[in-house]
Amino acid sequence: MVSMEDEAYQKYIKAGEIAKEVMQRALEKVKPGVKLLDLANFVEGEIEKLGGKPAFPVNISLNEVAAHYSPTAWDTRTFAEGDLVKLDIGVHVDGYIADIAKSIVVGGEESELIRASEDALRRAIEMIEPGVKTNEIGAVVEETIRGYGFKPVENLTGHMLSRYSLHGGVTVPNVKTRHGDALREGDVFAIEPFATSGAGRVVDENEAIIFRYLKDRPLRLKESRLILAYAKEHFGALPFAERWVAHLAPKHRLHMALRELAYSGAIYAYKILREKQRAPVAQAEHTVIVTAEGCEVTTL
């Protein structure tokens, strides 16, 4: 049994069950012609129907985009045959988070790239127990992905989860590193290997459509003040999507306000991440609770 309060444990488990169920339902809707916005609204609506809340805006990242793409309120993009889709879903129950991601080829079969990320995730989970170091996990992830002839994305990592926080201070690399942190019983981690046929690094795009409240700041625009107060009250320290605040201002004023908020340091802007050589990226992710005997996968 994990060394955490029973109430917290049960909420982690419930969040995981919701995330798993929503992921299964969402993958069935990834078909040619389906709007990314419609899928995003479906995912986040199902999370709430099942008794949870989104821990972050659902990420629907295509092909060379590795992370941080979530449709805007005006998004008209649709899935196309052959798209490599990474669906990353976060659920929280009273702040206790489950994080799950899967990759799928639209209208096609699972690719070797997807198998590489899934196999790396499986092998990483198999070795988790108290005392294992995060860099040892990274070495196994790298070895597995390279064994398929691909590269791990070295500047994306798994991460510790804590209440109302997606990044609890400890990361799990996807490559071998010199130093690591030892896992402890009761720790909760999102393990997420990324595999690519490209350079093995992601770079920032100019655009950001996911944000997170940081602190109150003096602001010039009334829309900025309105959005900041709303984000602080409704999302706290968890990320929010542009479309979640789109009802607060007309489109052009919304974009002006978000720029002012990011520039002032009131919010953090998550830049869209793409593979450096614009090569396809696959992702696999589960949430684990470290136990005395190994780990419990909440999203499996």
pLDDT in tens, 213-270: 999 999 999 999 999 999 999 999 999 999 999 999 999 999 999 999 999 999 999 9
Residues labelled catalytic: 88, 99, 159, 167, 192, 285
Q: What is the C-alpha to C-alpha distance for residues 232 and 237, in angstroms, rounded to an integer?
A: 8
User: Does the domain formed by 209-273 have CATH 1.10.1130.10?
Assistant: no
User: What pLDDT shows up at residue 2?
Assistant: 47
Asked if the model's pLDDT at residue 77 lies above 80, the reply is yes
Asked if the model's pLDDT at residue 85 lies above 90, the reply is yes
Q: Identify the band that residue 1 occupies on the pLDDT scale cut at 50, 70 and 90.
A: very low
User: What pLDDT shows up at residue 151?
Assistant: 98
User: What pLDDT shows up at residue 46?
Assistant: 98
User: What pLDDT shows up at residue 4?
Assistant: 72
Tokens matching residue 267: 């919010």
Q: Identify the band that residue 173 occupies on the pLDDT scale cut at 50, 70 and 90.
A: very high
Q: What is the dihedral of CA 24, 71, 205, 234, to 10 degrees?
A: -90
Q: What is the pTM of this model?
A: 0.95
User: What pLDDT shows up at residue 14?
Assistant: 98
User: What pLDDT shows up at residue 266?
Assistant: 98
Q: What is the C-alpha to C-alpha distance for residues 290 and 296, in angstroms, rounded to an integer?
A: 7
Classify domain 6-201+278-297 at the CATH class level: alpha beta
4 vs 153, more confident: 153
Confirm if 298 and 135 have CB atoms less than 8 A apart: no
Asked if the model's pLDDT at residue 289 lies above 70, the reply is yes
Q: Where are the domains of the chain?
A: 6-201+278-297, 209-273
Q: Which of 44, 51, 5 is nearest to 25 (CA)?
A: 44
User: What pLDDT shows up at residue 169?
Assistant: 87
- Residue-wise pLDDT for 145-167, tens only, equals 999 999 999 999 999 999 999 98
Amino acid at 241: A
Tokens matching residue 90: 């976060």
Find the mean pLDDT for residues 116-126. 98
DSSP assignment letter at 256: H
Which residues in 57-179 belong to E strands, given as ranges?
Answer: 59-62, 65-67, 84-93, 96-105, 151-152, 158-160, 171-172
User: What pLDDT shows up at residue 64?
Assistant: 98
Find the mean pLDDT for residues 82-89. 98
Q: Which residues are within 8 A (CB) of 6 and not within 5 positions of it... i.e. 6 or more apart?
A: none
